[in-house]
Structure 1
Amino acid sequence: MRGLQAEGGSLQWREQPAVELMTGQVRVAVKASGLNRADLLQKAGMYPPPPGVTPVLGLECAGEVVEISGPSRWQVGDRVCALLAGGGMADEVVVDGRHLLPVPAGLNWAEAAAIPEVFSTAWLNVFELGAAQPGEKVLIHAGASGVGTAAVQLCKALGNPCWVTLGSEEKLQACKELGATGGALRQNGIASLQSEGPFQVALDPVGATYAGDHLDLLGVDARWVLIGLMGGRDAKLDLAKMLMKRITLVGSTLRTRDADYKAGLLARMEERLWPLFAQGKLKPIVAKTFNQNQAEEAFAELAADKIVGKVILVRE
């Protein structure tokens, strides 16, 4: 079994030992794998996998069930997508059966692989930790990313007007077509969005660059959910504004959550979101696909930050 690993800043397919199934686990033959910024960071040596997790890259994949251990809702041959702490860029992956979801009807393998990480991140941080209520305004940074495009669609489907920040007019138009009300280009600064606010929830993968502006953009009792540090880690904040507005700042990562937490999250997602996929109100946004032998090109495409949606590796 081959798996894709980062070695000295480059990518290499390496033979991996076969993993014996434990009770409750499922072996999945991988058909497609989603790329995420966490993979770019791991490749650069800046985001090692959690203790005990395989060094093989990949936080999400889609494929076919080929083996099951113990009682399970799954059967051999089922089409599934998986949320992973690592290991998705491989010929096969062994996963807790609770961390699998059925592929929504009508989706191909690449589309299925574009669901688990980004929709779980968007759902968790906007609607569970961010507690967005219908009608509340949501601010989504990096709106054209995989997580961003998932969050925009969720907001539209669940009744939340949303605004995005991103890097080009083309991306802004694409987000508006998905349901965003408006947005701002990051190179022009985001203070212009103050006239559109106040916002009650902010989904923030940027960090320091936007931190000061948030205190003016967010409303009373707003929830600011920090999920990344693309704009740096050191920020200066006027704590008086934060105090008087009663703003809640939440730091959130998903990869290191325990197995039970992820299982509960995915169960709630399946109940609330899978009917929306069936109704066509949600859809994975696949920008480009590459075959497994084009992994370096796929990573370069994601790093270039020109696309809307997801980059996917597919088996030939």
Structure 2
Amino acid sequence: MTAIAITAPGGPEVLKPVTIPVPVPRRGEVLVKVKAAGVNRPDVLQRQGGYPPPPGAPETPGLEIAGEVVALGEGVRRWEAGDRVCALVPGGGYAQFATVHEDNALPVPPGLSFIEAAAIPETFFTVWTNVFDRGGLKEGETLLVHGGSSGIGTTAIMLGKALGSLVAVTAGSKEKCAACLALGADVAVNYREQDFAVALPEQGIKPDVILDMVGGDYVAKNLKLINMHGRIVMIAFQKGSRFEADWLPIMLKRLTFTGSTLRPRSVAEKTEIARALERRVWPLFGADQLKPIIYRTFPLAEAAAAHALMDSGEHIGKIVLVVD
């Protein structure tokens, strides 16, 4: 089969199509003929040499896929050949075939294409486990999302609004702020023109949960801005993981400062998230309350161009590879 290899750590140009064997599903796994694969920031980190796959995972990048089940490993009960699935995989998504544990796959939501379904697993798993599990966002509370126009950001906006929260975001241009507002965000601040730590309080925004993928000097501002009993959840450190901050607000406001990564988690942990999504979120797709935001698609062989777009930061929503 054709897959995309990282030939050396570096820029998008290191991504090259190669021919490798079709994987064989192990016990509890299914083999999926991949129709589309999402492109995510962890793929970029892996390409740069900073986020190696966990032990036993394929070296091929790609953490989310959508396609058709074509073979079953021993003991599989949940799926049959021909089923349409989308899945969170520990690697191997940039390929014509990929294996996944049966419990880490979900049915393609009604009415969604494979391209749309491929844009769901990584971002929806990430947002659910961080905003709703670790962050404990409740109906009626306020969520602040940094990087609101990213794949994670657009997902957090849609889920936050669908489940009854007020949502504020930061984004890097007027166009991105407008896109976030069109998706349902209540407030959007262009961080290139305004200090969000000043602009948001002026608009009466006091977040109960902050989803931060920026880090750096944002941390001190988050601590100043967040509400009593607030929860700050870190999922990346694009501006660095080393910083100075006054940590006194953690005591005075009785805050929770936490974070997580998704890829290294066990099959059982990811299964728990999958079941929660299937129970709480999948019905919202059927009710037309959710729809993934696709910015652009690329053929699998043009994965390098997809990563160049990701690196540029110009996209609003998801970038998806289409597999022939």
Assess same fold via TM > 0.5: yes
2:55 pairs with one of 51, 57, 73:
51
The answer to whether the 8 Å contact 2:215/2:240 transfers is yes
1:138 pairs with one of 138, 143, 153:
143
1:5 is aligned to 5
Shift of 1:256: 0.9
The answer to whether the 8 Å contact 1:27/1:65 transfers is yes
Q: Does 1:83 align with 2:88?
A: yes
Shift of 1:177: 1.1
2:26 is aligned to 22
TM-score w.r.t. length of structure 2: 0.95
Letter in 2 for 1:213: K
The answer to whether the 8 Å contact 1:197/1:218 transfers is no
Q: Does 1:71 align with 2:64?
A: no
The answer to whether the 8 Å contact 2:95/2:323 transfers is no
Shift of 1:18: 3.6
1:238 is aligned to 246
2:170 is aligned to 165
Letter in 2 for 1:256: P
2:127 is aligned to 122
Q: Does 1:285 align with 2:290?
A: no
Residue 112 of structure 1 aligns to a residue whose secondary structure is: helix
Letter in 2 for 1:99: N
1:38 pairs with one of 39, 42, 46:
42
Shift of 1:189: 2.5
- Measured against aligned partners, the alpha-carbon deviations of 1:99-153 in whole angstroms (never above 9, x if no partner) come to 1000011111110100000011111111111001111000001100111001000
The answer to whether the 8 Å contact 2:29/2:76 transfers is no
Structure 1: distance between partners of 2:263 and 2:106: 17
Shift of 1:71: 3.5
Structure 2: distance between partners of 1:280 and 1:231: 36
Shift of 1:303: 1.1
Structure 2: unaligned runs, 5 residues or longer: none
Letter in 2 for 1:5: A
Shift of 1:2: 2.5
Structure 1: distance between partners of 2:77 and 2:308: 39
Letter in 2 for 1:66: V
Q: In terms of mean alpha carbon deviation, does 271-280 or 233-242 score higher?
A: 233-242
Residue identity (%): 43
Q: Does 1:194 align with 2:201?
A: yes
Shift of 1:16: 2.4
Letter in 1 for 2:171: L
Letter in 1 for 2:308: A
Shift of 1:216: 1.4
Aligned length: 316
Letter in 1 for 2:257: L
Letter in 1 for 2:47: K
2:317 is aligned to 309
Letter in 1 for 2:223: L
2:274 is aligned to 266
TM-score w.r.t. length of structure 1: 0.97
Shift of 1:4: 1.1
Structure 1: distance between partners of 2:113 and 2:70: 18
Structure 2: distance between partners of 1:127 and 1:121: 10
Shift of 1:208: 1.3
